[in-house]
Structure 1
Amino acid sequence: MTSKTPKIMILYASYGDGHYQASKAIEAVFRSKGVSEVFLLDLMAEAHPVLNGLTKFVYLQSFKTLPSIYGWVYNFTKEMQPETSLLGVINSFGINKLQQLINKAQPDLIIHTFPQIAMPRLFKKTGKSLPFVNVVTDFDLHGRWIHPDVDRYYVATDDLKQEMIDRGISHERILVSGIPLKPDFVPERIPETEALAHLDPSKKTILLMAGAYGVMGGIRDISETILASGRYQIVAVCGKNEDLYRGLNEAFGSSPDFHLFSYVNQVAAFMRASDGIITKPGGITLSEALACRLPIFLYRPVPGQELNNALYLKNKGIARIANNPKSLAAQIDALLTNESDLSDLIQKIENLRKPEAAEVIVDDIMTQWFEPASSELVLTAEGSSYIW
């Protein structure tokens, strides 16, 4: 343990937006506690920009064109052991760059929010050591997250903790924290937004989120089916997919019940204003919906971690899964018009939601590795710190 203010490095990847958002959430809590030296590193982008761009493209395209192949690869390798040759190759990408950046930044602790566990290979190469932890950002466990040298794991659920224990990880090294979310999702901090001021209070609101890169399919058919009943209004968020935005605007832009947005930062406010969400089942988005006690409807989840996330929440009685717009609309009607079922669902969500996960993770890290300084650390309005 040390009493100095620590330096923290967070390793993430930009395959989707969730790993970055989890990293930013952890960073925000560290900074709120006066830890000003927090470094975020997209290791693949920094070390191998061309390869990173290629693999990112393939990853995003797999959701559209080859979902079954992606799912097969994910599930085939799910039980992979940490010292296999394949994982050794994957985890070796970028370690020379990582060594340079660690030498420069001199962090006291490393956090992984993406399962490319580079630190053990770096330790073996250099003979040096640092504490490092894994923040698992899904409700499903893949073997890539596990390595015997990881000092601590932060996971979403008790079920995930038990699965890790079954794989040989001692329970003392696992904390059920939840998946870290931005401070906006702590209930008393959820803001309002003028962007939704024109919603019709007489109709229930369905939030349709296509993902950060707008890769969820079937959105036009879903919107057409839900709007046809006249009972709902849709708030559609297209992420960074400009083609999707233009197509939906052409199809539904004149409808008073269709409200269209591209990429938004006020996700908590959008969820709070809604009665249900249709989305792709990424771990962060699901955790955000749970934090807002929002009924979840999942459409054709892609095989792999997202389908496994979806099935986990379905088995918990929290999420509904549909494979065509008609059955999706029927599920929405059945739930949102039945107060008893809705109340039961909200209670199940209550048992699983953990909106303050980022705070739990940071508090635990500080307790495990860094003693509080004897003097009080105060954060200024500008975000810099000084000793009072």
Structure 2
Amino acid sequence: MLQQPHYRSPKLLIVYASYGEGHIQAAKALQEAYSDFGHDKQHIVTYDLMAESHPWINEMTRRFYQKSYTHLPYLYGWMYDITKPMKHNSLFGSWLHSFGRQKVRQLLAKEKPDAVVYTFPLFAPQELQRQGHRIPSYVVMTDFDLHCRWVHPGIDRYYVPTQDLRAELKQLGISHNKIKVSGIPLKKGFKEAKPSPELYVKYGLDSSKPTILIMAGAQGVMPHIQEMCENILSRSSVAQITLVCGHNDELKTAVDDSISGEHSSRIRTFGYVNEIHELMALSDSLVTKPGGITLAEAISAELPAFIYRPVPGQEKRNALYLQSKGAAFVASQLDTLVDRMLELVHDPLRLMNSRLHIRRLQPSANPSSATAAQTIILDIVSNLRIINHASLF
């Protein structure tokens, strides 16, 4: 456990939304980090604001998000791009930020938090008043692309993944004192995971062979997975695959049934994996959907990412950003993706160079012993301590 602070634990309300796994995972990572500092677990509350305040609208919009993502991706991308420069006080922006207003008022009365932390841009800052004092609010960004929905004058500090995002916020007029490059919060296992003989045995892998990790997403919706696996195994006599199918049991069954003979000994299939940091620690490359959390995990594990046909919107922008930094490769053709991936995993020098590029994306502000989540929590608690001290005078 990290050193325990010698002052009262502040109470934090963490607000997220269940559109994808990333916002939830970030909230859980912050909750975990809060406990690492010795704070009382009862002093941190996580809340799915949209689901609790508007359950019917939440379910409808989640279904639309999932359907547009898989069946109408260009519609989702168009909506993302057209609202990207949206101002908080525009007609549409004001309408979006109105959701959850009554629920926030009730939460503040019930929980009496010292601060509100957002891992999803669903703000109700006009409600953040208690006993005549404004409650500090903090944003934890979970993507590598800046959508202006994250930007609001009621936010006291922004925690961002990269220096580039910090520069973009400054261009929008946000004071540099309000922006901290922290990285995206991940569970602490990513800081601790190392390859070991025990892990190779646990996952049935050969430590002498290059390992390609394929993550189909939490819902297992990445396209052409079965063809990708067959392509890799037929074109490399040594590469082995770990395939994580998420909650898509049909995908796992289909791959298990289709790959047989000598190739079957070089593939391991899994459903949803909680200890994904362990598989990343054993891998030489990653094929994945480019969600912000997953890419942050790859950066933490110094794992080159290969992105196949990213969906327009924040995921495509995430992918292109990492590609511009030499940390990922984006392909629209399956053969091209497999070619580049096999070239990398069979060339130790090229693999080492790729990992050097990835290392440059790791926030230098974090102490080597601290995770991004711990850095964020420490900064918030320290900031609250300063605010409380100032209020005494």
Q: Which residue of 2 aligns with 1:172?
A: 177
Shift of 1:205: 1.0
State the Cα distance separating 1:253 from its structure 2 match. 6.6
The 3 A distance-change label for structure 1 pair 286 and 304 is same
1:112-191 pair list within 5 angstroms: 112-118=118-124, 120-123=125-128, 129-187=134-192
Paired residue for 2:345, among 336, 342, 347? 336
- Equivalent residues in 2 for 1:8-19, closer than 5 Å: 8-19=12-23
Superposed CA RMSD in Å reads 2.3
User: Within the alignment, does 1:7 sit opposite 2:22 as a pair?
Assistant: no
Alpha-carbon distance in 2 for matches of 1:347, 1:324: 26
Deviation (angstroms), 1:127: 6.9
Per the alignment, in what secondary structure is the counterpart of residue 186 of structure 1? helix
* Cα deviations by residue, 1:212-237 (Å, 9 ceiling, x for unpaired): 12121221121111111233211111
Query: 1:292/1:372 Cα in 2 relative to 1: closer, same or farther (>3 Å)?
Result: farther
Query: 1:358 is matched with which residue?
Result: 373
Q: Identify if the C-alpha distance between structure 1 residues 280 and 197 changes in structure 2 by more than 3 Å, giving closer, same or farther.
A: closer
Q: 2:93 aligns with which of 87, 92, 95?
A: 87
TM-score, scaled to structure 2 = 0.89
> Among residues 252, 257, 265, which one is paired with 1:250 in the alignment?
257
CA contact (8 A) 1:154 1:361 kept: yes
Q: Which residue of 1 aligns with 2:117?
A: 111
CA-CA distance at 1:195 after TM superposition = 7.0
Map 1:197-212 to 2 at 5 A: 197-212=203-218
Deviating more after overlay: 219-228 vs 107-116: 219-228
Q: Does 1:35 align with 2:39?
A: yes
Given that residues 215 and 244 in structure 2 are in contact (C-alpha distance below 8 angstroms), is that contact kept between their aligned partners in structure 1? yes
- Output the CA distance in 2 between the equivalents of 1:320 and 1:368: 39
The one-letter code sitting in structure 2 at the alignment partner of 1:5 is S
The amino acid across from 1:242 in the alignment is D
1:284–1:92 Cα change, 3 Å: same
- Supply the AA of the counterpart residue of 1:47: S
Mapped contact 1:138–1:282 kept (Cα < 8 A): yes
Superposition misfits of 4+ residues, deviation over 3 angstroms: 123-128, 187-197
Q: Which structure 2 residues correspond to residues 248-327 of structure 1 after superposition, within 5 A?
A: 248-252=255-259, 255-327=264-336
Q: What's the secondary structure of 1:250's corresponding residue?
A: helix
For residues 4-50 of structure 1, give each alpha carbon's deviation from its aligned partner in whole angstroms, at most 9, with x where no partner exists. 32111100111111111111111111111122211000011111122
Residue of structure 2 equivalent to 1:381: none
Whether the 8 Å CA contact 2:213–2:243 is kept in 1: the answer is: yes
Q: CA deviation at 1:117?
A: 1.6
- Gapped runs of 5+ residues in structure 1? 374-388
Render the CA deviation track for 1:192-251: whole Å, top value 9, x for unaligned: 647744212332111110111212122112111111123321111111122222322222
Report which stretch shifted further, 174-183 or 92-101.
92-101
Q: CA deviation at 1:252?
A: 2.8
Shift of 1:180: 0.4
Change (3 A) 1:253 1:147: farther
Higher RCO (CA < 8 A, seq sep 6+): 1
Question: Aligned partners of 1:260, 1:353: CA distance in 2, in Å?
Answer: 30
SS at match of 2:134: coil
Show CA shifts across 1:307-332 (max 9, x none).
00000000001101111221111011
Q: Does structure 1 retain, via aligned residues, the 8 Å contact 2:194–2:281?
A: no
Given the alignment, which residue of 234, 237, 248 partners 2:241? 234
Relative to 1, partners in 2 of residues 1:125 and 1:92: Cα closer, same or farther, differing over 3 Å?
farther
Q: Please say which of residues 202-211 and 237-246 is displaced more in the overlay.
A: 237-246
Q: TM-score, normalised by structure 1?
A: 0.90
Cα distance in 1 between the residues matched to 2:114 and 2:325: 39
In 2: Cα distance, 1:173 partner to 1:125 partner: 22
3-state SS in 2 of match to 1:293: coil
Question: For the residues of structure 1 that align with 2:89 and 2:132, how far apart are their CA atoms?
Answer: 18
Distance in 2 (alpha carbons) for counterparts of 1:249 and 1:100? 50
Please tell me the residue identity of whatever aligns with 2:356.
Q
Q: 1:138 is paired with a residue of what secondary structure? A: coil
Identity among equivalent positions (%) equals 43
CA apart distance, 1:128 = 5.6
Match of 2:391 in 1: none
1:126 Cα offset (Å): 10
Report the counterpart of residue 377 of structure 1 in structure 2. Answer: none
Matches within 5 A, 1:42-121: 42-118=48-124, 120-121=125-126
Q: Aligned partners of 1:51 and 1:80: how far apart in 2? A: 22
Counterpart CA distance in 2 for 1:280 and 1:126 is 45
Assess if the C-alpha contact under 8 Å between 1:138 and 1:305 holds in 2: yes
Taking structure 1 as reference, are residues 121 and 215 closer, same or farther at Cα in structure 2, changes over 3 Å only? farther
Change (3 A) 1:126 1:367: closer
Code of the aligned partner of 2:140: V
Distance 2:69 2:240 in 1: 27
Whether the aligned pair in 2 keeps the contact of 1:63 and 1:215 (CA below 8 Å) is no
